[in-house]
Structure 1
């Protein structure tokens, strides 16, 4: 009867609005008035709210107990203090049903008063008979996220606000993750997850895609203190994220503290300076909300590298020696603002946002250090206005909707006009032609519209449906001052994406499951060069459109209250991005023929957590399988002027495993370690030959070999000590040590060429230490850090050396009211 009532309510609402739909503008205004009036009336006059606390037999708070209003979809989980609050409850006598893993179900009758908040006395709940030995303990938001069916690792950033490391470097502490940097602060980086990298892994900020944010607003530039936690999905993604990720995603969850201010400044080696300001204000009465995130970064990046020295008069390498980088300065800054209203009858939140960011980057090298530049510069500017809206119980109980819309204007500038040739000593000789790599003074304009709409419906307290659609349209225009008549720059390039997802969630105490399907569509307008290097060479405009269907499922089950098993499968697609198809105008070459890559992904895993008196253990182990087709791989051309580019590689198969262990003793000691092995192999046995030597089917020379330039074995370890009330009351002294290790790997396929000529990224280990002191419960903080303690030669990419030993000092001030 309950479901028929809900359907009837929805039908009646639509019937009341149908006559107005003949007049569109009138319909819109009446619809807005109807929504506002309907909710104002129902919430303020016919419904009420309740709040209270759930405790155990010892009057200790119980977290994650589910408090449900019987016969409705209303329900909330208790927080870490055992509190809950449920609004929109019909007035009158209602029955609360309290359940949870290891808890004996309890029913409590409450009289709900209309238009007010009813205070409920503490509800005492007992452990179930079969699980008397299980202690119910609190769970953080990070832990709750990990208990979902998805293969997800959660980085709790709150404990890392005092570090000077970027968010990208912090993610290296998660198994299966590698963040590979080309150099120092602000350098290009590649994020790798389970062997998938670049755009195969998607990034989000509070569920909003970051594809259109520009190079100046990314994991390497935004401050650590901006985030509350980071969710790393290793495979299947929630439907509401609406992305075309092939191998996973990273969702940065920003801080939701209502009223706080967090300011920090650090300085260190290589004239590096970083500043950050984060804060928020919410008026509890009016719901007015204002949020600010700002950052500034600067570095000369003049660290020493062991580089090849070329005699400019002969063009031959004479030796290798330690030299300082001299054209590698970096500056970036950005502001993210959001303001609007929260907790209103017409919106849970209605927020207007704006992102502005900018960076200036001196380009020291090409794709390897064999190319050295003295005057190449790049710059980018981003301006992104946006709107976010969300409302639960829209029209009928259990129906929720959210909308995000943004317009992105990102301009990228590249200047390479010097008629010079440099070596690593900073010496130069004149060239007959302008441009150290390619003569250009170009401006690339990227304009993008993004809309993400999500609707979900709770069928009952255990089932829900979610429908999500994301649309993005990117248009690129190029103008080059030194080549204004270039025919290729006169052809606008455009890329449109539509991704629609439908998901079904089933959730019970000991297990939950997700089943979903996604429809992908890509359309592009670009140009190609035909009959290159012949008298008939010409440019022609080309258009393309592709549609694909993906699907999958994720399942988790608690074998024991502390032992969780997970399994997930997805047939996923990833659509090429504009920078892959159209290039970057400098080092990265264009490839408009890129096809969507697809992969069958399987993840399995076990998670165990146990607390024995003051000792807490958390252990995770998992396995991965990836079978990818049309794999998009970034390659490097080893010429005197190296470039990079993306290409489809027929078939790639991945097997791997990962494991991690974390240990805590009281608030004094914490330690952890993880290891990852991932074996990516070329499974394309035959390929079609369309070349000057003739057409036909030939055997693939690299069949069965490991994919090059991808780390396959790596790990991390850390140890930390914390001493409370050290020297003064409400203070904390901390000491942290971390180890990052990676096994050496080949730049190109290991089976090709002579052994002595094969290029490798060597095995390496780096050590970082830090000492911190917090006063007045974290209000004042001072941190000393040393990275690459052993001053080792470190490489994430072939012949692109990272900084040596560096020291940093950070000051941080935090208040919360």
Structure 2
């Protein structure tokens, strides 16, 4: 808390010091070609200053300046750059317009564009990272999780349909091994009402996927990698509203709007909701009261899900004292029926969960703070989650919806109202200084705190759940420092270190020593240091080599330490994982001719992990628990290939193969007995998967500015075992068979994208698809989406 207050004091000091003087003059004008036609997206730059803007659709621009003498430069792709010197008087509005001539160099077959997109800038860093453009998917009904499923090396694991539990599988790591961020802010404490499974893709501008080695700016204790969701940070005024209806009575709606005034006051609002009955058919085992059982097709009957969320931000952009200052508030709620446990044969008829989230946030960014090259970024958020897990019925259900009386209350074996509050707070400070074009330094510090308060009197009186009376707290701090060397932007190397500190208070099960259900308070303090290096070298301007290595640590998360209050049991005595991560990548990206573009990316990785935290499933009750397994080794490769023909056709795909094996020779750390599963693949982990997609665009279809697009995607997962492959004979081994599914989408954009209608058919061949421990996912489904989009560029 002291550090948190220090960051706030630090921020307000700079806020007051930097806002002492504001621009008091306005420069405006138009940019046109020699025929008088307006040029949109032309850049207006004030030489030797940080002031810049771009022209709107009608070629106009506005620029606030201090009084003085300036040289104004205007540039646009395909035109010659023009510079004009001008004197700007105090309190005056002056006009300065440009007429640009065509650039004769555009007659060449290839033009090198100096300004790069944000996605290309990310790809060219020394880290093994891929970036997905969300804007191309705005007409789809995808959530952020299913968008991520298209990235190389990424596979989304989910337990069912809309709103089901979802985790990211990346380079052999899943769940908490992969850290999620939104605009650089950790999402660990955001709560279940605001997660990948319910956030629409329209909120994101792009998604960055860092594999293995992670920059210090995130302050992440991630071994699998980091996923950063970058939201729309444009200063444009816009409105984006959509509604979709699909199979299983699924309704999704979203509205996003933003406005920025000429003086830099900005406002953004995102509101969305999801609803589904999730009553798709599944093939599973039906149990009867007399003990008989039968495999048959049934329809899910207790899996309704809905959530509602509002995100609002207000603040200032492009001011002398702040590039961005935003105050935000996120409000979310969800309600979910729970149909089954972690295995399909255990079915529920009345169990449910409810959750709500209140999350205020603060973001401050300032480049060239006091001196050129000194950049500061501060973020802070506080989240209060309310959770209620209801399991009070003294009934047992089967998949036909029939039920019969039980001798005890609670379908899962424990009678609970499961009411508790999670409180999370985090603050991040990033400070970087660029000495010159070759040398720069960065430091980062992230502090985070978690506390759970249980208010379920029923659980507290139950001796099995008496652990709920014990305080649960998790506090951690991650400090990082790095040095970056860049030689003519052709060779870039970063050397870094990270220091990890964690303090844990929680319950541990002492039943083994006492012989009865009992728990004791457990306190632990942990600290260690990691380090690494990442380097990239351009063998050719189209061919990039990447190499990185890190000694990484991953601290146990709240769910692993304390459980989720529904289907997972915590383990407060878990040790931090540690790993040596090696990455090697090669990227080829070239415009072959004026019509053809090719992108190829190949990345290999090696992970040597100790104290690997594994999620274990109770086959009798269907619950889950966590344990330090021991040593695990993973070797793998990701390959992505993409081809573009003008703006008419695109084709691409990616394939991942990995070999994640158990390298723990003994049964346990306290045993001398050799393990019979040594060198087995880690169970319930897919090792061969990929996807492919194609899109075809018909321009000016039934009207100028209208576009009809047709898309197809294929998803593939190879066969893998659910349990250790050395255990059991061929007839008793549980495995997930090879899975292959197909999706189709079609959209029609009218009036340059203002009006949109889209149709989707997912898994249109109606394949039987499964995930974690044979949990069946929906079959064939259809959806129709209507979308309206309006933007005014500033």
Tell whether the structures are fold-level matches, with TM greater than 0.5: yes
* 1:581 positional shift: 0.7
Residue 475 (structure 2) aligns with: 496
Residue 217 (structure 1) aligns with: 194
- Measured in 2, the distance between the counterparts of 1:80 and 1:459 equals 35
Residue 655 (structure 1) aligns with: 635
- Measured in 2, the distance between the counterparts of 1:710 and 1:729 equals 49
Residues 554 and 119 of structure 1: CA distance in aligned 2, closer, same or farther (over 3 Å)? farther
- From 200, 203, 207, give the equivalent of 1:230: 207
Residues 120 and 240 of structure 1: CA distance in aligned 2, closer, same or farther (over 3 Å)? farther
1:447 and 2:426 matched: no
- From 276, 287, 310, give the equivalent of 1:310: 287
TM-score normalised per structure 2:
0.89
Aligned to 1:580, the other structure's residue is in SS state: helix
CA contact (8 A) 2:24 2:66 kept: no
Residue 751 (structure 2) aligns with: 776
- Measured in 2, the distance between the counterparts of 1:806 and 1:419 equals 35
Residue 693 (structure 1) aligns with: none
* 1:67 positional shift: 9.3
Residues 654 and 65 of structure 1: CA distance in aligned 2, closer, same or farther (over 3 Å)? farther
Residues 80 and 501 of structure 1: CA distance in aligned 2, closer, same or farther (over 3 Å)? farther
1:35 and 2:14 matched: no
- Measured in 1, the distance between the counterparts of 2:440 and 2:46 equals 16
* 1:729 positional shift: 2.1
- Measured in 2, the distance between the counterparts of 1:689 and 1:342 equals 55
Mean Cα deviation higher: 193-202 or 74-83: 74-83
Aligned to 2:629, the other structure's residue is in SS state: strand
Residue 732 (structure 1) aligns with: 707
* 1:397 positional shift: 2.6
CA contact (8 A) 1:76 1:84 kept: no
* 1:774 positional shift: 1.1
**Equivalent runs, 1:337-416 vs 2, <5 Å:** 337-416=312-391
Residues 89 and 178 of structure 1: CA distance in aligned 2, closer, same or farther (over 3 Å)? farther
**Equivalent runs, 1:105-116 vs 2, <5 Å:** none
Residue 298 (structure 2) aligns with: 323
- Measured in 2, the distance between the counterparts of 1:401 and 1:329 equals 45
Aligned to 1:142, the other structure's residue is in SS state: helix
* 1:516 positional shift: 1.2
Mean Cα deviation higher: 87-96 or 263-272: 87-96
* 1:134 positional shift: 5.3
Aligned to 2:337, the other structure's residue is in SS state: strand
Residue 278 (structure 1) aligns with: 256
**Equivalent runs, 1:526-605 vs 2, <5 Å:** 526-532=506-512, 534=514, 538-605=518-585
Aligned to 1:483, the other structure's residue is in SS state: helix
* 1:395 positional shift: 2.6
Matched residue count: 766
- Measured in 2, the distance between the counterparts of 1:811 and 1:346 equals 41
Residues 443 and 767 of structure 1: CA distance in aligned 2, closer, same or farther (over 3 Å)? same
- Measured in 2, the distance between the counterparts of 1:470 and 1:786 equals 43
The gaps in structure 1 that reach 5 residues or longer are: 1-24, 56-60, 99-105, 691-695
- From 619, 623, 644, give the equivalent of 1:638: 619
* 1:110 positional shift: 6.9
| Cα-Cα RMSD | 3.6
**Equivalent runs, 1:104-253 vs 2, <5 Å:** 135-137=111-113, 139-253=116-230
- Measured in 2, the distance between the counterparts of 1:567 and 1:123 equals 44
The gaps in structure 2 that reach 5 residues or longer are: 1-7, 34-38, 76-80
- Measured in 2, the distance between the counterparts of 1:766 and 1:738 equals 9
1:482 and 2:478 matched: no
CA contact (8 A) 2:11 2:378 kept: no
Residues 415 and 591 of structure 1: CA distance in aligned 2, closer, same or farther (over 3 Å)? same
CA contact (8 A) 1:63 1:77 kept: no
TM-score normalised per structure 1:
0.87
CA contact (8 A) 2:441 2:483 kept: yes
- Measured in 2, the distance between the counterparts of 1:519 and 1:701 equals 37
CA contact (8 A) 2:24 2:67 kept: no
CA contact (8 A) 1:378 1:415 kept: yes
Residue 618 (structure 1) aligns with: 599
Residue 472 (structure 1) aligns with: 448
- Measured in 2, the distance between the counterparts of 1:33 and 1:672 equals 50
Aligned to 1:489, the other structure's residue is in SS state: helix
* 1:779 positional shift: 0.8
